[in-house]
Homo-oligomer: A and B are copies of this chain.
Amino acid sequence: MVYSFAPGRVPPEGIGEDVLGGKGANLAEMSRVGLPVPPGFTITTEVCRDYLAAGRRFPDGLKTQVENALAETAALLGKTFGAGPDPFLVSVRSGARVSMPGMMDTILNLGLNDDTVEALAGRTGDARFAYDCYRRFIQMYATVVIGVEDGVFEELLDAARDKAGVGRDNELDADALRALVDAYKAAIIGDMDEPFPQDVHAQLWGAIGAVFESWKNPRAVTFRALHAIPDDWGTAVTVQAMVFGNSGTNSATGVAFTRHPSTGEKRVFGEYLVNAQGEDVVAGIRTPDPLLPTGHHDGHAMSERMPEAFERLNALGERLEAHFGDMQDIEFTVDDGTLWLLQTRKGKRTADAAIRIAVELAGEGTISREDAILHVDPALLDMLLHPSVDPDAKRQVFARGLPASPGAAAGMVVFSSTAAEAAKADGKPVILVRPETSPDDIHGMVAAEGIVTTRGGMTSHAAVVARGMGKPCITAASMVRIDPARRTMRAGAITVREGDFLTLDGAAGEVLLGELPMVQRPLSGDFATLMEWADSIRRMRVRANADALNDAEVARGFGAEGIGLVRTENVFLEGDGLQVMRETIMAPDERSRRLVLDRLLPIHRDTFVALFEKMAGLPVSIRLLDPPLQEFLPNDDEELGRVAEEMGMAVDDLRRRADELHEINPMLGNRGARLAICYPEIAEMQTRAIIEAAIIAGERSGAPVVPEIVVPLVAYYAELRHLRERIDAIAADAKSRHDSDIRHLVGCIIELPRAAIRADLIAGAADFFSFGTNDLTQTTLGISRDDASHFLTRYLDEGIIERDPFINLDREGVGEIIRMAVDKGRAAHPGIVMAITGEHGGDPESIAFCEEIGLDYVSCSPYRVPVARLAAAQAAIRANRGTL
């Protein structure tokens, strides 16, 4: 029923969390490793179950076992429970099999009474401290065990502060606290008609019973229901010796990292305070001293002032690292010269430190290279790859939104893409602020340092494009009201005018006033080493999504092994492409459209040649035009008039065509494969440009190019078959005209549920599948990513969903659809290549899912390629270990 965790008395390893609870098992493990944890013992969860089942009765024999364990523990420390000169004080804590933070009760400083409090005051020479411990204990005990309302004590404490004329609890002196203790005791009798127990054994049994009871309190019951924790597990009770860092000048309390949490350097780093409690550090009344001397040796460092304790701490740090295989964050207390470890856990660290520590731990042989890879959270890499706002800068938040693209940038506010381009031409850095962006805004986004939209979500047009460009972007900044007429915007009481400086913190989703300084550290050699290890271990390939040549360059720099998705709509915006595309759309029939499109062919071909050359033989997947044609037409009256004039046509004709093309739900409209079937001439022009470009690039470089042509938004097998016939015919014609025999591949994007359901058939006409998880999420969930931020935020708040499905792949829904498509597609076409090319391709959790279902590669924004390489390696390791 009772297990000690004193050194040498630790229970065998087989006795785990189910018996001892999480807390008890953890203490037992620390003690087993030889760490100096304050001694104590744990009453098993089984006792709790028996106690509750027997109508709140302790089982026979428990009393003896507990009293014996208590006596043994006290003797180990040379203290006495309930008596001076050195009274033994304990904490009594709950401990369920899994963590239920804050759900059950804890009591500290148990063992204090009117006698022992005086003994404590004598031993520590600090009556204020002793009485503060006592009044806290009484308050905790009375509320938890006796059932007094906590407000009673808070009122008395307020009164005591008023009477003493002080503002804070710790300014109350020993006499005031003594009086408060008396008032507390009187209040308990007044309220409950029973005194606060002076018998320390009565205190102990009251506390143990109360902890057991707390398993049944409403908070805990609700928590278990929500987290599917069985009601019959019960909680363990851990009774542990209290140690005090404020019991004299030979005592201290502090925090130590085994390596530097900012740089990763291998030396102990931390702070401590002599004769102090942990909460003193938090309260910030005294400034802590360093563990090791910094610049000036003033003798305050722990290594100088408490050299023995420090050396022991240093040695324990090494042992902990060896045991846990990672940098540790240790809470310690020195109680009258004796070092105690209260807690040790994996230390938080910066991205730089994380990489250095992982690589060095592997270099030292403490961990394997695989473990080193697992040690680094891929999300941290984002910080390394983008500049960030100087952490020391003073931030004044203008507005908050979704952190749609990381990085930081400062510039002058503009409210239109045209203004952005003009300012950029004048050499001015700009921040583009729009309600939302469309392909029409690409030139403005290229010109801007960063983008803010008041609408849209994590995968809106602005978000996707900005991530691709590696620029910070904040979307759904919904408190911002733009007044386009006055060229101002307002959030709360603050108004910002065009030309004012703003700074974006993309990772935080914050729009900051003024121009703040940035930092960006160069990538370290350790980073390169870690990525090399990751590359040698991962199974999945990593490609990048690229919209322009520049993206391809960035992607290669970050180690992309090809382009998984070229969104060709941007090629239509190059040069006078938009103008030509508008003429195409306005042309009266297919024949006229073909004539106009002939002018777009060379632009496309040149772009693709450059792309193939840049990727030097690496695979490149080019998607046929996907968005609805309406996106190429002007969308307001003013622009309509301007464009009509430019095109030399009647504004009514242009408006009529725009109205014809207008769609109520463009996401579900005439796009992708549908466009290619309704306007075959566009897909044919693109196909010819791709094949010709591949021939030219292959001849120039000598390395053959195998272009991959991607058909988007396929729902029916017949669509792909129909289009593949056309594509293959055009390709054959282009090859024969150029006397070439290069290969080409044709595949499709699986981004509609129907395509997944019919993947077996569709696989028959496809060389590869790429899963377009953005659109697949939209259709499977019936959620427009452009319109979702409002209710998804509410869903997250209400706990209806745990994560944004546009950021982390919805495994249970969209994931099941993908799994079905993979299984059906593979069964029908065993050699088919499968990949993910949606935004989820850069999300570590989603990448783990891709590994699980055996995809061949992931493709993501260029700036996320390193994240994906690392995440893919982690997934491969976990898959090998069976822990994916």
Taking Cβ atoms with an 8 Å cutoff, the residues of A that contact B are 436, 481, 656, 663-670, 674, 677-678, 713, 715-716, 718-719, 722, 751-754, 757-758, 775, 778-784, 786-788, 790-791, 794-795, 798-801, 810, 812-814, 816-817
Contact = CB atoms under 8 A, between A and B. Distances in A.
Copies in the complex: 2
Contacts of A753: 753, 779-782, 813, 817
Contacts of A801: 716, 718
Contacts of A787: 663-666, 668-670
Contacts of A795: 674, 677
Contact of A665 (B665, B713, B758): B665
Contacts of A754: 780-782, 810, 813-814
B670 A668 contact: no
A341 to B, nearest CB: 41
Given A722-B800, A752-B780, A783-B715, A667 B670 contact: no
A781 B752 contact: yes
Contacts of A798: 677, 722
A716 B668 CA distance: 22
Given A668-B667, A791-B670, A800-B677, A713 B782 contact: yes
Given A670-B787, A779-B780, A782-B752, A757 B817 contact: yes
A677 B794 CA distance: 8
A750 to B, nearest CB: 11
Contacts of A758: 812-813
A341 B779 CA distance: 57
Contact of A664 (B666, B674, B752): B666
Contact of A800 (B718, B788, B814): B718
B663 A784 contact: yes
A665 B778 CA distance: 10
A788 B812 CA distance: 30
A716 B758 CA distance: 24
A674 B668 CA distance: 20
A813 B715 contact: yes
A345 B754 CA distance: 40
A678 B800 CA distance: 12
Sort A-B residue pairs by CB-CB distance and give the 9 closest, nearest first: A668-B784, A665-B784, A754-B813, A752-B782, A753-B753, A663-B787, A669-B787, A718-B800, A664-B786
A18 to B, nearest CB: 28
Contacts of A670: 787, 790-791
20 contacts: A664-B667, A664-B786, A665-B665, A665-B784, A665-B787, A667-B668, A667-B784, A668-B784, A669-B784, A669-B788, A716-B801, A722-B798, A752-B782, A753-B781, A753-B782, A754-B780, A757-B816, A775-B782, A779-B779, A779-B782
A838 to B, nearest CB: 14
A677 B799 CA distance: 12
Contacts of A713: 782
A415 to B, nearest CB: 16
A541 B678 CA distance: 42
B782 A668 contact: yes
Chain A, interface SS category: helix
Nearest to A751: B782
A780 B715 CA distance: 9
Contacts of A800: 677, 716, 718-719, 722
A515 B599 CA distance: 52
Contacts of A779: 753, 779-780, 782
B664 A812 contact: no
A382 to B, nearest CB: 28
Given A665-B667, A758-B812, 17 more contacts: A481-B656, A663-B786, A665-B666, A665-B787, A667-B668, A668-B787, A670-B790, A677-B791, A677-B794, A678-B790, A716-B801, A718-B799, A718-B800, A752-B781, A753-B779, A753-B817, A775-B782
A817 B757 CA distance: 8
Contacts of A677: 791, 794-795, 798, 800
Contacts of A719: 800
A872 B798 CA distance: 43
A672 to B, nearest CB: 8
A209 to B, nearest CB: 34
Contacts of A668: 665, 667-668, 778, 782-784, 787
Contacts of A790: 670, 678
A309 B757 CA distance: 60
A801 B588 CA distance: 26
A799 B716 CA distance: 12
A635 to B, nearest CB: 11
Contacts of A481: 656
A795 B775 CA distance: 22
A784 B630 CA distance: 15
Of A751, A782, A813, the most chain B CB neighbours within 10 A belong to: A782
Contacts of A817: 753, 757
Contact of A781 (B664, B715, B775): B715
A757 B813 contact: yes
Contacts of A780: 752-754, 757, 779
Given A677-B798, A779-B753, A790-B670, A784 B716 contact: no
Contacts of A667: 664-665, 668, 782, 784
A153 to B, nearest CB: 35
A669 B778 CA distance: 10
Contacts of A788: 669
A716 to B, nearest CB: 6
A813 B790 CA distance: 31
A780 B750 CA distance: 12
Contacts of A778: 668
A784 B656 CA distance: 21
Nearest to A800: B718
A778 B670 CA distance: 13
A745 B752 CA distance: 33
A817 B779 CA distance: 13
Contacts of A775: 782
A799 B719 CA distance: 10
A664 B663 CA distance: 9
B757 A678 contact: no
Of A666, A722, A795, the most chain B CB neighbours within 10 A belong to: A795
A608 B798 CA distance: 31
Contacts of A669: 784, 787-788
A737 to B, nearest CB: 27
A791 B678 contact: yes
Nearest to A659: B435
A859 B780 CA distance: 25
B814 A782 contact: no
A837 B786 CA distance: 29
Of A664, A778, A791, the most chain B CB neighbours within 10 A belong to: A664
Nearest to A794: B678
Contacts of A666: 664-665, 787
Nearest to A792: B674
A458 to B, nearest CB: 15
Of A718, A754, A778, A784, the most chain B CB neighbours within 10 A belong to: A754
B715 A665 contact: no
A490 to B, nearest CB: 12
A859 to B, nearest CB: 21
A34 to B, nearest CB: 47
A757 B715 contact: no
Of A665, A674, A791, A801, the most chain B CB neighbours within 10 A belong to: A665
A775 B664 CA distance: 14
Of A787, A794, A798, the most chain B CB neighbours within 10 A belong to: A787
A762 to B, nearest CB: 11
Nearest to A715: B781
A760 to B, nearest CB: 11
A780 B814 CA distance: 12
Nearest to A720: B800
Contacts of A664: 436, 666-667, 784, 786-787
A351 to B, nearest CB: 34
Contacts of A782: 667-668, 713, 715, 751-754, 775, 779
